[in-house]
Amino acid sequence: MAERVIVHEVGLRDGLQNQPRMVPVEGKLELLDALIAAGVRSVEATSFVSPKAVPQMADAAELYARIPKRADMNYEVLVPNEKGYERAVAAGARTIAVVIAASDTFNRRNINMSLDEATLVCEAVVRRTKREGHRSRAYISALAACPYEGVTPPERVFDLTAKMFDAGADEVALSDTIGAGNPAQIEYLFESAIRRHGAQRIAAHFHDTRAMGLTLAWCAIKAGVRKLDSSIGGLGGCPFAPGASGNLATEDLVFMLNEAGYETGIDVEGLRRAVMIAERLTGQSFGGRMTNFFRAQDARRQAKAKAS
């Protein structure tokens, strides 16, 4: 039996958060329905952040109230602090994510807190989540490098990971937020984290800024990771990290995993339909490397059909 890898879709939150065209709740639900139809079963649905800071997420409570409630679906939401946590729980969320950058400057630019202050806030949210019977995920962003400070010291990543687990986090997602990692670095970071905390508690989140998203994902998989984040069509990028282009595309990750013999439960053709919906909603052209490949195949088939 093929080994299962969970593909965690973050397009609805990380992918849409900095899109210039506002996507209404109905559009987000349409995209979510397409993802579910394709077989996606783990989704970061939204974030309960300040509407002034991230207007695209201003509809978080309404959206969460309307998402399909299915026993086979895992929905997660991002919160910046305890106020966001309270809003999320009031809306019905039961899996809460927090994020802390492994860089003092990145935290100051992102949330106007020092690294120490941000750590305390995340620990407080995670402890409360644990105490009140919910699940929690902690992102450690700027895993490989910070756009302001350069290469991230590995021990800082390991220290923050340990602090999140000590506070009660169920899972830590090591996140190369600006796509700056290299294979040797990623292998070392994930092998070390898994050796200390176990493969089932470590997830991976990559961006494709330098066209190495799939390579780094494969390094994490070979290190033992069995849950990876991705965004439909490669949507997204961090608005607080200069040069951080889109996330690793879901269709690319799923195609690679399916071809390599892993079980994802996700149909690539279904993802192609989701990409088209994302393009229509945002008014932009998206799609990972496999999308361009499939479009070329479609064109060849159409040309052959016309010639026959």
Residue 305 has pLDDT above 90, yes or no: no
The residue-averaged pLDDT of 64-84 equals 97
Q: What does pTM read for this prediction? A: 0.94
* Dist CA 260 CA 218 (whole Å): 10
The residue-averaged pLDDT of 139-152 equals 96
Structure tokens at 40: 């996606």
Structure tokens at 27: 């559009």
* Dist CA 250 CA 9 (whole Å): 7
Average pLDDT value over all residues in the chain? 94
- Residues across the chain: 308
Strand partners, 176: 206
Structure-token match 């899109």, residue found:
19
Tens of pLDDT, residue by residue over 158-170, are 999 999 999 999 9
Whether 169 and 137 have beta carbons less than 8 Å apart is answered as yes
The residue-averaged pLDDT of 290-306 equals 81
The residue-averaged pLDDT of 118-128 equals 98
User: Looking at 122, 146, 219, 238, which residue is catalytic?
Assistant: 238
238 as an active site residue: the answer is yes
- Domains of the chain with CATH codes: 6-307 (3.20.20.70)
